[in-house]
Chains A and B, each alone.
Chain A
């Protein structure tokens, strides 16, 4: 009898210890089964081996994620130790999230990205992964770089001169912007052009700076391959060398670099008078205020932001690293080339990070694209009245949805 009770006690303690070492990680990302399995087997298993902390990875849809975190916060007691979500998933929950500015990271995260996680004076998440759009350049184009133009710190003026140089030398329009019906042209306009030229993506839609921007774009368009309005992604025209310099989403240029890694480099998008506007789809790691294991959560965050793990995540699920050291840790090849560009863009000193509008009607895409089509593709003179009407409609869309303007405007 006595022996039995000792056995029970031992079992109880053992089980208790086991529970104490398991933490819950809830995430809106990596939800598809293949991705979740990758996270569990390739990312978390080595972490458990090294630290003895078991991590239970739970994928969740946005609605479930939000209500769960909110409910635990209101109850003052929680089970979830650590969270992963896009900026748009985490920022509405800021009140329920602990300040993580003191959490150690496994690599250097650019200040431009960390700044975005500061809501109400507190840093509520640690930047974790990103996806973005950048420029891919065929090395042949480098021979035509105008004097004083640095591709790693490109400006729109420099890009114009560069494309003009190539045109004068080869007679061909080698600049590529995806402007087809299913392209991501709207991202280029609201996340790159507008912030670079006006500082905002919504607020200055019909400003004088915007008029200047459209006139510049008409000039640049002279050197864009005239088939651009048929292109939905730039990998094909890059491979066929119909263009040498192209802008697009990393996923839409990747194939070109995979097929011919020696021919291309990826560089940051250009900067305008207000700075280097670019979009970051930013994922972050957060610790709820009511997290039962904040120390273990901090250890997990340090592990997940180490260059090796960041590289692993890029290779496994295609999300790019946020830490500067990761690009160097990648094996030579397409992903390294892209990661260099992504890192350089994220770390640029004149960065203006834009977020993708959330919660509003997709009609906003049409507003940006139609304006481009009218002024740039059709070549009609920049008409302030039309700009004003489009701006009004755009603001209406935000009002109708009661949605905040995304960064850099607000949010």
Chain B
């Protein structure tokens, strides 16, 4: 390998890819060639850095300088200034959302300081399409150790001792899961990687697969060795084309290098991996539904027991883990169970990746030790709430989770604390809401998702969720009563209590947790028929403050339905019976005379 003086890493994750990072890479290469620098400086398409809302992201090594929102046209300036003259391109530097000051390097970013990257250890560092780059960053070293020095039960013991719990949502101890699959003897067993990440706003697994696919492949082989399986299947949604492409490349390279297939590393152990595509049904993240989908059947769950470890894919013992769980395996093998167990909280070990979304400054992907507080995540890593607004709630666990409020800001986030707070870890979606969010609408939004995504197999989920949604809609239209709130709660509890799978058992969580934490908002909707956040259209009324109105007639002229009347130079009036609440008048008024009540 030629000696390279500098590296320019360009994020090739889906977000940055979508923002033209490929063209940026091309331009950077052309600029380097134009200046005869192509041998000294390499451009590498890397995985996700986590700063997704600011993409495309460019990182210069050495120096760890981070540039944000880089366009293909910026390539010339980066090469001529940063590379050739070692002068930073000030306008592309990351700006701290709180101090508003430019931050030159990754290590100086508050965003970075509280993070600990185990799962994402190689994301944004290696070229995901180059296995040698991965191997240079310790990929397959753990596998070598396992195959040469350890017996299946040794591996299972380490995983058990590490305290690793499944990152897919339930938090079931992974070592125990492996052990059960190991104990169910069969000629034919399967290792399944659940890459059917379906929570709205969640993209942890996708980023791992796009940025460091070998981390998952290696862990699957280790799992196969431990449970004595020889076949691995990755169930990935077809909507993740980039992840699929990189997985395929990685699988091909791993086979070429003897890290997959027959007689891996000459150890005599055979293991190969195939990709199966999901059609994008949320319920297929549930392991029995996932397995049925892989078998070519309708993607719907069946009652457990039997658990997949007993009777899974094709009726054979099957171990299902999600991407993030697998990504934890190699570091645990290499650094030991004690190391992993030393990170995190008492019953939740290691780190957790969260996809930060919503009204937060740093939208993107972060990885923090379990037990980090919500306050640290939002205000230190996330850079606080957008536009300096007030924090209202954070939805964890996706549509099946619940919301945490101000009183939960200082509880350490882990599996058990979230459940105690009426939410759940889920796969790691974290959606931040501010004072402008109507919590009834938030519950309705999440429920709309689960209504759409229910498979329809069991009645409480199929019909009950629809009825919950309809009742919420009724309330947001100002037609609800106080008795409806009790009914909401009763229905929610019954749906949770009677549904067949995790989807229905958790789908009413957003309703229950908003009802618990923001009951006054619900009450305002049903008694005063007002939406305190001013979001529910049917409960809003546009109103002209006579004192401010100068009678310019601008509002009346823009009103599409003729709801505004008034003489020139006289205060105008809005007829609420005609008004369609489009908001056009408010946008036109130069005198702040129109308000929403």
Is A bound to B? Answer: no
